[in-house]
Amino acid sequence: MEPLVRGLDLRKSSPTRGSASLGDPVLTPPKQDQLTEKTSLSWFAMLFSAGMGIGLVFYGVAEPLSHYVDPPQAGRIPGSTDAAANQAMELTMFHWGLHAWAIYVVVGLGLAYMTYRKGRPLSVRWLLEPLLGRARVEGPIGHAIDTIAIVGTLFGVATSLGFGVQQISAGLDYLGWVETNNWLTVGLIVGVTGLATFSVVSGVSRGLKWLSNINMVLAASLAVFVLLLGPTLFLLQSWVQNLGGYAQALPELMLRTAPFAEDGWSGAWTIFYWGWWMSWAPFVGMFIARISRGRTIREFVFGVLLAPTFVASLWFTIFGDSGILRQRDEGTMLAADGTVDTDTSLFVLLDGLPLAVVTSLLAILVVVFFFVTSSDSGSLVIDILATGGNLETPRITRVYWAVLEGIAAAVLLLVGGSGSLTALQTASIATAVPFSIVMVLACVSMLKAFRYEVATAPRYLQIAVSAATPAPGGHGAPHRRGISATLAGLDTNGNGAAAPGARAPLVVAVHELPARSVSVDADTGRVEIDHGARPQDPLGGEVFDTPEFAESAEGVAQREADERRATTRD
């Protein structure tokens, strides 16, 4: 990573930062709404809420418990055993850990680079410009890519709302307050969609930022409550065990295909998750790119890949291991038919702790806020895609998409119930098939762009020099221990010489050339450079007449170059 980091933004990075910036906070200050996104905690809260969404609450207890009582055949471990408990947590972290967030990093980092450094519109299609060229990206191929992204995002957010409403309704029913019915479903969808609409109208820096912060506080409060009032020592020991087991089992799980297993477990869980994350990649990746201007690549990778994996491991340990321990010791976590009820498993766990009603209400609020943040960011992303990558979209269109997501979820729940949601989820995941090809091409495309940056970015050296003294041979030009006055920035008559005893810094830009472009005459020592052998810009120096391009690092660099050429002509 270090050569890539150096190559991307060496000229504008301070020695203490040591990494490239997505955008150029020195030369092109972020707008007012982007200044608020500089807070690392708010930035992480927004990306984590969008990336994990309701699934973190929906599956926090249910998935580890499911793997515990019904483990995969390929693992050859009997269910409801201590070994099955360890494997259950490894599988859960495998599904919600590095692999999920790595998919988001590919899209998010590539889009942030193309938008804030190269000035392209914030749209998935532009990930492929270094590979396909501008003409193809702006043609039917690009339109098809963005259409797939819009459909996947719309279906994914609508499915998320449906599952969230199901869990809220199940929680209220479990508490004995109301009975689940169509009117309750419609009322919950209207209320949650209304809150999401208010958030999307308020904008990223207000509604979404504050809701994400509140959501993280509520979720953290719920987790801390279960940790402190539950089996605290057991959970802390389990967290260490889970992290170690995950790291140890990761290579095997990555390569496990289970060709002899007949239970269909891999298709129902692992392959399903990879498709789900890929279908959400345009939505989450674009949103993360939208809020990441000014972040360094190092910050981006840590905040989007490592930190969420760490937090998710803690969440699933607290809730998943608590559920497993309760089932192991008391056998009270399963439904009457011996299966795991995904909708109510969290509430069953909380029912065994003090203040069950309060914590159940808190869990419902967490579900609501998780959906609101997902809907808000999803509506924003769909609107950006529909307008061709425009970062500042009209409020009315954002409201339209938020309401449409709510209507889609309501119709599906009322007409077909959970079966329709499963069908919609499957349709959403189907978009992952073509988008997986886009992601592979995007990796190749971004690698091509990054290699050009690394190959052409200069290294800047600061050389300490002594005070100027007369040059040998009687010439009046000063020299600095063998460094010519011209190179040091001094005129040849000595007018720029430093005072005796003073030391002035000398900064030299060094460009590394490929060996094939340099030839040296063995007799004279003359060096000749073949400029045609230098790397070719995969973006071709394209110019865009847009505010995004003018504010990007590429636009600023071209503007400075034009000004220098104009000054030279004058």
- Residue 473 has phi, psi (to 5 degrees) of 85, 10
461: enclosing H helix or E strand = strand 459-464
Q: Is the pLDDT of residue 27 over 50?
A: no
The structure tokens listed for 405 are: 């997501």
Q: Which residue has the higher pLDDT, 442 or 294?
A: 442
Is residue 162 a contact partner of residue 424, using CB atoms and an 8 Å limit? yes
pLDDT in tens, 282-292: 889 999 998 99
Q: How confident is the model at residue 16 (pLDDT cuts 50, 70, 90)?
A: very low
pLDDT in tens, 227-265: 999 999 999 999 999 999 999 999 999 988 888 888 888
Mean pLDDT of 24-43: 52
Q: What percent of the chain has pLDDT over 90?
A: 33
- Alpha carbon distance 488, 511 (integer Å): 18
- Residue 506 has phi, psi (to 5 degrees) of -125, 120
Look at residue 23 in the predicted model and tell me its pLDDT: 55
Mean pLDDT of 521-545: 78
For the chain, helix, strand, coil in percent to 5 are: 65, 5, 30
The structure tokens listed for 45 are: 């809260």
Domain residue limits at 227: 49-449
Asked, for residue 283, whether it belongs to a domain, the answer is yes
Is residue 354 a contact partner of residue 229, using CB atoms and an 8 Å limit? yes
Look at residue 417 in the predicted model and tell me its pLDDT: 63
**For the chain, what is the largest distance between any 2 Cα atoms, rounded to a whole number of angstroms?**
102
Give whole-number Cα distances, 328 to 79, 242, 299, 323, in Å.
11, 18, 41, 9
- Alpha carbon distance 283, 116 (integer Å): 18
- Alpha carbon distance 497, 470 (integer Å): 10
Q: Is the pLDDT of residue 11 over 50?
A: no
- Alpha carbon distance 267, 426 (integer Å): 12
Q: Is the pLDDT of residue 77 over 80?
A: yes
The structure tokens listed for 166 are: 């199901």
- DSSP readout, 192-232? HHHHHHHHHHH-IIIIIHHHHHHHHHHHHHHHHHHHHHS-H
Q: Is the pLDDT of residue 479 over 70?
A: no
Q: Is the pLDDT of residue 410 over 90?
A: no
Residue 198 buriedness (CB in 10 A; 0-12 / 13-18 / 19+) = middle
Buried b (16+ CB within 10 A) or exposed e, 37-70: beeeebbbbbbbbbbbbbbbbbbbbbbbbbbbbb
Look at residue 297 in the predicted model and tell me its pLDDT: 87
Q: Is the pLDDT of residue 454 over 70?
A: yes
Look at residue 6 in the predicted model and tell me its pLDDT: 29
- DSSP readout, 9-25? HTTT--TTT-S-BSS-T
The structure tokens listed for 333 are: 């976590």
* Strand runs labelled E in 250-357: none
Q: Report the CATH number at residue 147.
A: 1.20.1740
Is residue 157 a contact partner of residue 374, using CB atoms and an 8 Å limit? yes
Three-state SS annotation for 125-155: HHHHHHHHCHHHHCCHHHHHHHHHHHHHHHH
Residue 471 buriedness (CB in 10 A; 0-12 / 13-18 / 19+) = middle
Q: Which of 416-430, 440-454, 481-495 has the lowest mean pLDDT?
A: 481-495
Q: Is the dihedral of CA 272, 47, 208, 150 positive or negative?
A: negative
- Alpha carbon distance 87, 434 (integer Å): 32
Look at residue 311 in the predicted model and tell me its pLDDT: 95
The structure tokens listed for 99 are: 């692999």
Asked, for residue 478, whether it belongs to a domain, the answer is no
Q: Mean pLDDT score of the chain, rounded to an integer?
A: 81
**Per the structure, how many domains does the chain have?**
1
The structure tokens listed for 287 are: 């949103």
Asked, for residue 5, whether it belongs to a domain, the answer is no
Asked, for residue 3, whether it belongs to a domain, the answer is no
Asked, for residue 538, whether it belongs to a domain, the answer is no
Q: What is the pTM of this model?
A: 0.82
Q: Whole-angstrom distance between the N-terminal and C-terminal Cα of the chain?
A: 43
Asked, for residue 101, whether it belongs to a domain, the answer is yes
Q: Is the pLDDT of residue 5 over 70?
A: no
CA proximity to 440, closest of 271, 287, 281: 281
Residue type, 552: S
- Alpha carbon distance 478, 186 (integer Å): 84
The HSE-up count of residue 371 (CA atoms within 13 Å, CB side) is: 33
Asked, for residue 10, whether it belongs to a domain, the answer is no
pLDDT in tens, 130-183: 999 999 999 999 999 999 888 888 888 887 888 888 888 888 888 888 888 888
pLDDT in tens, 196-225: 888 888 777 777 888 888 889 999 999 999
Look at residue 448 in the predicted model and tell me its pLDDT: 92
Mean pLDDT of 39-67: 89
Strand partners, 462: 507
Look at residue 376 in the predicted model and tell me its pLDDT: 83
- Alpha carbon distance 107, 105 (integer Å): 6
Asked, for residue 459, whether it belongs to a domain, the answer is no
